[in-house]
Amino acid sequence: MNKTILQYTNMEDREILKRVSESAENENSTNTLISDLKDTLSNIKNGAGLAAPQIGVNTRVFITRNYRDDKPEKFLTFINPEIKLKSKEKIMIPDGCLSIPNVQSKTIRHSYVKVSYLDESFNKVEEELEGFQSVVFQHELDHLNGILFLDLLKNEEQQQVENFFVRQKNEPNIFYVEGKIIEMTLKNG
């Protein structure tokens, strides 16, 4: 079932988004959750992944588009995921979030991670992820730990984003992109 994505600017939603998620134990409820995550992300063109807390479920499950095999129309499922090893090499990459629309900034992520998780069939998987799949995995895992990409920004930029949210209430056609506020106007016809 297509679910509503919680929004950071809503204080009740923010409280839920900042919680650390609990282990997924029940296979039936986890399968329903996975179905809901897939239905929801399927209806979003620019979403790379979606974590259970973003639809209000405090469970350690997320899905991503399959960048690992260069098949973004397909999904990968991660149940009770964890990072076993992180590369020393890090990359700075533009980051955004479905729970924080109209905001994009650069974050630093590991270029490579060795991970373990249960797949959709509840089989244990250990694998190495690199490139964009590694970055998306780290972003979604952060959600399960109550961390949003804004938490990774320097304090000064966090304050700029909070100021942006105040301004956005009266100016809905503005976007925050890497420290700049950009106004978008739509032309008819």
Active-site residues, by number, are: 140
Q: How many CA atoms lie within 13 Å of 118's alpha carbon, on the beta-carbon side?
A: 16
Q: List, in sequence order, the alpha helices (H) in the chain.
A: 11-17, 27-42, 131-144, 155-168
d(CA 83, CA 89): 15
d(CA 184, CA 26): 45
Can you say whether residue 122 is alpha, beta or left, with left for phi > 0 and alpha for psi between -120 and 50 degrees? left
